[in-house]
Amino acid sequence: MKEFKKEKNWDFHKTLLISHKMEGSYEEIYIYAIALILPAFNAFAGMFNDEQIVAIVQAFNKAEIGAGDLARSTSNHSETRRFGHRMVGEHYGANWLINDLVQKEKISPENSETSESLKTNEEKHLEKLKGLRGPAFDLAYSTIS
């Protein structure tokens, strides 16, 4: 029975996204994205406090912005540059929303093993990407971002 509910819930969210064709403001798109990932966060309830979750989200956004900036300036492929530009815009927008929440709720981000791991892995990933050019760059960027 639980599996059916999960499947039904996913179908609802998928239908919602398709019916809106991902059009609208970034804020609307983020709301839909959050609606899709909330069930996953429930699985981690109790593992992280609010401050740690904020640090994880900020680390993830910073990683995506860094890789997207590199894609915009390094790739020779227009689709990769366009995707990098989109990732930078979306994750700047997500950072703006999370920073607004942090200020309103007076949350101080708290690093955790997970946020530190994200930062370390992103630094390694960016160093790897910086050494690549052409299709090798595009493939490495697209498989991680």
- pLDDT 10s digits, 56-80: 889 988 999 999 999 999 999 999 9
Q: What is the pLDDT of residue 18?
A: 42
**At 94, is the pLDDT very low, low, confident or very high (cuts 50, 70, 90)?**
confident
Query: Where do the structural domains in the chain lie, given as residue ranges?
Result: 1-43, 49-144
pTM over 0.85: no
Residue 3: which H helix or E strand, with range?
Answer: helix 2-20
The number of helix segments (H) and strand segments (E) in the chain equals 6, 0
Q: What is the pLDDT of residue 28?
A: 59
Q: What is the pLDDT of residue 38?
A: 61
Bridge partners for 38 per DSSP: none
**Which phi and psi angles does 52 have, rounded to 5°?**
-70, -40
**At 102, is the pLDDT very low, low, confident or very high (cuts 50, 70, 90)?**
confident
